[in-house]
Structures are given as C-alpha cells and as structure tokens.
Copies of this chain bind each other. A is one copy, B any other.
C-alpha cells in the first residue's frame, strides 16, 4: 500500500540508488558473487510498523552486524564482566586490525574475544538469540561459512594473539570457526530493520512483543555502536549522522534512533572504510533531511500530565442531592485530579511532582490509567509526594506501596471518595418516604393518595438487575432506599459506570423521556426499594389529573435540567 512513509522511502531509494560507487567485498570469494545493484531500505518503528522499499527480502549474510548481537548475548550471560574483558574504546582502525589495544566488541579482535565468552559451538542458542532480535527463525549460509573459513587466516592470527595475551581461554581455531558461523547467519533487509527497532525499543522486539535483551544490555550495545559501529573516526559518525549504527561487509547496515525507530539497509558496494556506500548515504539522508540525528531529535514530547481538574470542575459519576452537590461545588477546588500519560522516568516524574506542588490542594489523586510503565527512579521520586497525594488510580502496586496512599481501580471511584471526604456524605442508604421524593415535591396532599394507587412498590437485593441494557423503558423508578449504579459496556470490553443514584433520585428518566431503550444496565449496589411510575401517567394516556401531571413533569424537568447543567460543565472540563 502506498503511504506517505512508504512514498518517502521509495523516493529516498531512487535518490540514493544514483550513487553506484564502491566495490563489492571480494576477500571472501562467496561474497564477491553478490549483485552490486541489489538495494533495499526498511524502517521499523518501536510500536511495530514496518516500511520497505526495494530489495528488502533478498537474503545475505549478517557479517559484522552479528557483533552487537553477540555482544548483547554476552552481556546478558555475563554482565559487566564483558566490558572489563573486552573494553569499549573506538579504535579508529580498520575492522580487521590486529592490535589488541584499545579493543571493543565491534572490531574483529574484540568480537572474537566476545564470542569466546559464549563458549564453543553453541550455534543453536546463537541462532535463537539473533532470532529474538530479528523476530523470526534464522539459519546459517554454509557456503559462505566455508568460503570464509578458507580465508580466515587473519582472524586465526588475532585469536592466537588473544590467547597469547591470556585474554581467551578456549581453542583459538574453534573460536574462529564459531565466529565465522555467526558472520554467516542469513538475514534480509527487513530483518535488519527489526533488529534495529528492537534496540530502539530498549530490547523488546516490537513485532513479536518478546524481549530479546534487557534495557541495560541495550544501553551498553548502543553506547558502543554510537562511537565504534562504522569503523569510522569515532567523532565523525556521531557528529554527522548521530545514530548508533553497525555495518557488515556483505552490504548490510543497521541504524537506531533510540525510543523511535530502526533502519535496515542492504547494498553490497562498500566504501574504503568497508561500509556500504548506499547504507551510509541512507543514514546521512535520514539524519539530515528527517532530523533523525539523536541530538537534533530532542524536541519535547507531550506533557506527562494529560489533564488536571478539580472537583469543582468535574465530579464523580455519583449523583448527589442538591445540598451535597452545592457543597462539592463550593469546596471542590480543594480536591484535584492529575491524569498522567506515557512512560514515567525521572524527568517525567519531576514534571508530575512540580505540577502537584504548584497546584496546592488538600486532596490529590494521580490517575495512571494511561501510563504504561513507571521506572524505578520515578517511583522513588513520586514516593516523596506521599504526603501531598491522597489517592492513586490504576497504579502499579509498587507505586501505591512506595507512596503509601489509597489505591483505586478507577479515577471515578477516587473522585467519589474525595467527595465523601469533603462533604461527609455517607453511603449508608437512608429510607425515604415516597411522599418526600423529589419527583413528588409540591404534589398536593389530596393528590398523593390517588397517585400512590398508581405507584408499584419494588424491592431489589444487592447485585440484582434493576433494569437491563436494551429493555424498552415503560416506567420511571423513584428510589426510596439504597444505591443503584448504571453502567455501559465499553467497545473494548469491560464496563464503565455512568451514574450512581440514591434515595430521592430516579432511574430511567432519560430513556423514558427520550422514548427509547436502556443503553446500559442498572444494578442494585445495596438493598434497594423504589416505586415505579408508569410512563403513560406522564404522557396523559393514563387518566391522571392534569394539574398533578404538570407538577410531576415540572419536577422531573428540574431534575433533568440540573443534571444537564452539570454534564455540560463536565463536557467543558473534558474538552479542555
């Protein structure tokens, strides 16, 4: 499908294809057979989108792009010891330099040393490790492996020097064979993009969703790729392109924009440093024309505080009696909600602490429904807000524990809790005489008796359905005891509370008056008593004194209008 990103890649492909310079590697005979005109570009994002242009499904050998993957596997297996054994200094020398100082895992000597840390002959686990990055099962090209094995004298020399220097333990020839096998793993350009995107995503493969390496390992791998990935002068690549990258002698290149995306390029002709000419060209273009240089890409993301509001601006779905609602409106500014979004690291948590401290309120709730991950540093910082925050909603357990505040599953419930705190309103259901119900206000005493003949008394146990979604509504329920919650089903599954009503309030008025069906269920939270008023009493179809009908309708209008005014305020708050 043509998309703007795809169109961009096609255009980039056309432009960079014009550079036909470079020489296909021939020191390994099998590599010399590559078609110099093959050229593919693939881009994968940290959330799993994949774009391709050109020859992205042609297999070729991974060669030195295996080095950061083996380094990652060694770090996973041995941790910081790897850095002490191998080093991380860019050498500024050719990839096959024979010097042992300085060393890093991305030049041959360091890569052979790194490979030795994984032991001899474990190809299956190596293929598994690489496959976790690529997101599919990989295999080895035996012809290339044999061809490389016949021309591996220099690497054998390096391995022997390494053992001579006491830096590897095993048999040098065996280790070189293992190293050649890792270089002979077959990949395509799309695989490279997925590998790069896995590094961009902190080690979690965005296609499979499975973790290929820890974020600490990826931090270390990217650090070395940033200075030593392109056999280049260490400062030049970071300055010109600013993307951690790695090239292979078969013509592959990966480049990583951390947190965003990964690039894979395949084009066999190499420049005199041994990097794919077009691979370098694509990286330069992306960095310059798309501002993907990691020090240019430093623009600010959306605030971690998605929205903040007080109870004076928006309340819970719990409907309140007018006097209680008035108290909430008056005192609501003393309670404030902060809806957070995105991952929270130290810098985001700092903004959250500042927002909380800058907007003083007695009661504060942080809502983490839209937060995916709370890093350790953020937990530590937010813990310091423990005495300024009274509640959390949809928060991970360790955060609630560290902050030592009351956790709620939903923000709505935390708001209700705050309202109760502010007003002292009790959940305990009062028993109301139906004569005192708001719908019957100002009904003359003489009319009450005839009206009571129409009202049907109902009782529900806690958990009973009072009305069900889809039912035609033919009566209005006047609640005289207990608590009823109305919910709607969500498109993505689950339900959401839209209202909780108590004695003195009604159920069914909107569907009744709009002439429709129930949208959601109404269920009794507690034991509930209520009186059902038939719809036709209000419409005039059933004989009822016209004056009485007008009083009932006016009362209902007052109730519905008051609720509408509040909804309109909520809408204004939410739209802001």
Contact = CB atoms under 8 A, between A and B. Distances in A.
A531 B257 CA distance: 64
Interface stretch (A160-168, A477-485, A550-558): A550-558
A345 B382 contact: no
Interface residues of A, number: 126
A189 to B, nearest CB: 18
Interface in A1-24: 1, 3-5, 7-8
Q: Which 7 A-B pairs have CB atoms at the shortest separation, nearest pair first?
A: A4-B384, A513-B561, A301-B301, A302-B342, A258-B298, A546-B546, A259-B298
A517 to B, nearest CB: 11
Nearest to A2: B384
Interface stretch (A30-38, A211-219, A428-436): A211-219
Contact of A565 (B291, B294, B354, B514): B514
B514 A295 contact: no
A571 interface: yes
A142 interface: no
Contacts of A377: 289-292
A576 B306 CA distance: 12
Contacts of A547: 540, 546
A58 interface: no
Contacts of A297: 258-259, 345, 347
B498 A568 contact: yes
Interface string A488-528: 10100000101000000000011111111001000000000
Interface string A71-97: 000000000000100011110100000
Given A384-B8, A565-B510, A572-B498, A290 B550 contact: no
B235 A224 contact: yes
A223 B295 contact: yes
A146 interface: no
B300 A342 contact: yes
A380 interface: yes
A61 to B, nearest CB: 27
A222 interface: yes
Contact of A564 (B236, B370, B496, B564): B564
26 contacts: A4-B349, A4-B381, A45-B350, A46-B300, A47-B300, A47-B351, A88-B236, A218-B298, A219-B295, A223-B239, A224-B239, A228-B235, A258-B295, A258-B297, A259-B297, A291-B375, A292-B346, A300-B342, A300-B372, A490-B576, A510-B564, A540-B550, A540-B554, A545-B546, A564-B564, A567-B567
A560 B381 CA distance: 48
Given A342-B300, A373-B299, A375-B299, A354 B235 contact: no
A347 B256 CA distance: 12
A100 interface: no
Nearest to A83: B239
Given A554-B553, A574-B574, A302 B299 contact: no
Contact of A200 (B5, B102, B201, B298): B298
A228 B261 CA distance: 27
A3 B539 CA distance: 61
Interface string A170-200: 0000000000000000000000000000001
Contacts of A114: none
A462 B66 CA distance: 73
A421 B432 CA distance: 52
- For A298, A304, A341, the residue with the greatest tally of chain B CB atoms inside 10 Å of its CB is A298
Contacts of A223: 235, 238-239, 242, 293, 295
A102 B498 contact: no
A570 interface: yes
A391 interface: no
A247 interface: no
A454 interface: no
A562 interface: yes
Given A259-B298, A377-B290, A7 B384 contact: yes
A540 B552 CA distance: 12
A138 interface: no
Contacts of A560: 513, 557, 560-561, 564
A549 interface: yes
A284 B53 CA distance: 42
Contact of A302 (B5, B220, B341, B512): B341
Nearest to A555: B553
- For A259, A294, A550, the residue with the greatest tally of chain B CB atoms inside 10 Å of its CB is A550
A455 interface: no
B565 A380 contact: no
A211 to B, nearest CB: 14
